[in-house]
Amino acid sequence: MEVRGRELHFGVQLQAQRTDWAGYARAVLAVEELGFGSVWTFDHILPFAGPDDDDCFETLTTMGSMAVLTQRARIGVLVNGVLYRDPATLAKAAAQVDQATGGRLDFSLGAAWAEREFRAYGLGFPSISERYGRLEEALEAVTSLWSQHRTTYHGRYYHLEDAPCAPKPVQSPLPITIGGGGMGSLRAAARFAHRLNLIGSPSYCAERLGRLAALCAERGRDVAEVELSVHPGLAVAATTEAAHDLATRLAASNGGTPGQPGEGWLIGTPEEVVAQLHRYTEAGVSHFVFGSPPPFELDHLALFMREVAPALA
């Protein structure tokens, strides 16, 4: 099945919190073995919800470890937050991981949102307008570092002086995912993104795609060049009741409750989840990355690959 000229893609984001490394590594290998096309971590320095004193992995070292654990699946961070690192550090790390994987990295960047992490560690958390400004400047800087022998860059927030980046990524261009549906994220996506990742309902995704199309048109770019991705929760089971029980359990692991089916969650039997996915594909979504909190439950992911994914092929 194709959506906007692209085959459907299914991946899993393994939330790197409230677990140990052995359990996380097993989950990474299991997701790849089940046949998912990509496996992702997140970018946080504290658990993003609930108590803030549980384990939470550092992102770049986690991504590097995922690079050597996996053999086939694409890997990435959904998504890197622009405030956590300077652009040169991001560019170097991404290039090294792309080298280590033989060209399997999906680079990502967003404006960052988890304010309590920045307050806890004494890091600046500026206004959303500044974060959007930093997002665009960081993308200007990293794309230059990947493509040019040396980069001199003087922006409002970031400065580089005759800076090399070696080794370069294997992929040229390195695919860029922009995370977020705010207008600043959409403007950055219209300039730089190969993919826009959203969280929300099919109608929200369709509306954001329309706004992105207008921004792309202003730049003389075809919006068809930007893949649309969504990041929902997933709870699929043999019965509807069992699926809702699973969704409640998964959401509770982060101190929350699941949304309604089609409103940021896919919940139901395989047939019901297929119908919910169709509503996303009708909105233009071809790329799905399902959130998976610890303890990493694999049975519903296996059921998805066994009965849901083939029904959409």
Give residue 264's pLDDT.
Answer: 86
Tell me the pairing of strands 195-198 and 176-179.
Answer: parallel
Give residue 278's pLDDT.
Answer: 97
Give residue 253's pLDDT.
Answer: 82
Any residues with CB less than 8 A from the CB of 22 and at least 6 apart, and which? Answer: none
CATH architecture of the domain covering 1-73+231-313: Alpha-Beta Barrel (3.20)
Give residue 252's pLDDT.
Answer: 86
Give residue 9's pLDDT.
Answer: 98
Give residue 262's pLDDT.
Answer: 64
Cα–Cα distance for residue pair 285/278, rounded to 1 Å: 9
pTM, 2 dp: 0.96
66-71: long-range contacts, CB 8 A cutoff, minimum separation 24: 66/28, 66/39, 66/41, 67/97, 67/100, 67/101, 67/104, 67/105, 68/100, 69/25, 69/28, 69/29, 70/28, 70/29, 70/32, 70/39, 70/101, 70/104, 71/32
- CATH 3.20.20.30 region(s) of the chain? 1-73+231-313
- What string of pLDDT tens digits covers the 313 residues of the chain? 999 999 999 999 999 999 999 999 999 999 999 999 999 999 999 999 888 999 999 999 999 999 999 999 999 999 999 999 999 999 999 999 999 999 999 999 999 999 999 999 999 999 999 999 999 999 999 999 999 999 999 999 999 999 999 999 999 999 999 999 999 999 999 999 999 999 999 999 999 999 999 999 999 999 999 999 999 999 999 999 999 999 999 988 876 677 777 678 999 999 999 999 999 999 999 999 999 999 999 999 999 999 999 999 8
Give residue 65's pLDDT.
Answer: 97
